[in-house]
Structure 1
Amino acid sequence: MRLILYQRDDCHLCDLALAVLAEANAPEFDSVFVDDDAQLEARYGERVPVLRDEGSGEEIGWPFDAATIMRFLAR
């Protein structure tokens, strides 16, 4: 499972998402900032933070809590 957290610079919700991922003991993930990529900005700009499993293509967008993350990881 390769996880990516799509986020923005100076994003309060993204900071909250990082805290929730820590609370859920999520495995290591990559952080990708959409601000400087027009294609990612168009896809995720209004939706960040978004956690994506690159293997399955499944995504969950904010708001999510630790229980939601644990279910996402367990599927």
Structure 2
Amino acid sequence: MRVIFYTKEKCSLCEDAKALLGMLQNEYAFDMEERDIYTNDLWLEKYQLLIPCVEIGTEFLDCEQMNLPRLERVIQGNIKK
């Protein structure tokens, strides 16, 4: 499973979200692809007001939805059995 994590430099919310993902990575097997929105104009336009945000399978969580219980629920729902 792959988690795409949209972020930017010097973002305390992004650091917090990355820490949550790191905790979950200790329990669940997934690859995390970190994308800095300032390296791609499309990402910047689409996500600048939503970061940190993640794509997990077909699910998308933005900064307002980013918490440990919700992330874990989405990851569990996307684990291949």
TM-score band w.r.t. shorter chain: 0.7 to 0.9
Structure 2: 5+ residue runs without aligned partners?
none
Task: Give the CA deviation at 1:43.
Answer: 0.6
TM-score computed with the length of structure 1 as normaliser: 0.83
Question: What residue in structure 2 maps to residue 36 of structure 1?
Answer: 39
After the TM superposition, which segments of 4 or more aligned residues of structure 1 sit over 3 Å from their partners? Answer: none
TM-score computed with the length of structure 2 as normaliser: 0.78
Give the length in aligned residue pairs.
73
Which of the residues 45, 49, 65 maps onto 2:48?
A: 45
Structure 1: 5+ residue runs without aligned partners?
none
Higher helix share: 2
Task: Give the CA deviation at 1:34.
Answer: 0.5
1:33-59 deviations in whole A, cap 9, x for unaligned? 001211110111110111102xx3321
Q: How far apart in 1 are the matches of 2:39 and 2:23?
A: 29
Q: Conserved in 2, the CA contact under 8 Å of 1:24 and 1:67?
A: no
Q: How far apart in 2 are the matches of 1:44 and 1:8?
A: 10
Q: Conserved in 2, the CA contact under 8 Å of 1:23 and 1:66?
A: no
Aligned-pair identity in percent equals 19
Q: How far apart in 1 are the matches of 2:52 and 2:76?
A: 20
